[in-house]
Amino acid sequence: MRGCISIFKRNLPWSRTPPRTASVSFNAPGTSSLKFSFKSTLAAAAIICVAPALLSSQSALAQSAPPSAPPGAASGAPGTPKTEVPEEDDFSSTPFTEYGEFNEEADEAAETRFFQTGRFFGISAGAGFEGVAGNRGSLWQGGFPALDLRVHYWFDFSFAMAMAITSAKHSFSDFQGNAISVNLLRLGLDLKYYFDVHNLASAITFANPYLVIGAGNYSKTQSNENLPADSDSALGFTAGAGFEFPVKPRKVYFNLEGKLHFVTFKDTDTTNYVKFGVPNLNGEFYTVTGSFLFTW
Mean pLDDT of the chain: 79
Please provide the size of the chain in residues: 296
155-165 average pLDDT score:
95
Global pTM value: 0.63
Asked if the model's pLDDT at residue 12 lies above 60, the reply is no
Please give the tally of structural domains in the chain: 2
| Strand pairing category for 227-248 and 285-295 | unpaired
Element at 141 (helix H, strand E): strand 141-142
* pLDDT > 70: percent of the chain: 65
pLDDT at position 83:
60
CB of 285 within 8 A of CB of 130?
Answer: yes
Would residue 91 count as lying in a domain?
Answer: no
**Domain range spanning residue 47?**
1-21+41-51
Q: Which residue has the higher pLDDT, 88 or 57?
A: 88
Domain at 265, CATH number: 2.40.160.20
Cis preceding linkage at 145, omega within 30: yes
pLDDT at residue 53 greater than cutoff 90: no
145 pLDDT more than 50: yes
User: What is the DSSP secondary structure assignment for residue 275, as one 8-state letter?
Assistant: G
273 vs 282: CA distance, rounded Å: 12
pLDDT, tens digit, for every residue of 79-128? Answer: 556 566 566 666 666 655 555 555 577 777 777 777 777 899 999 999 99
- For residue 73, tell me if it sits in a domain: no
d(CA 139, CA 174): 9
Q: Please tell me what DSSP assigns to residue 17.
A: S
In a domain, 170, yes or no: yes
Q: 287 and 176 in one domain?
A: yes
- Asked if 128 and 241 sit in the same domain, the reply is yes
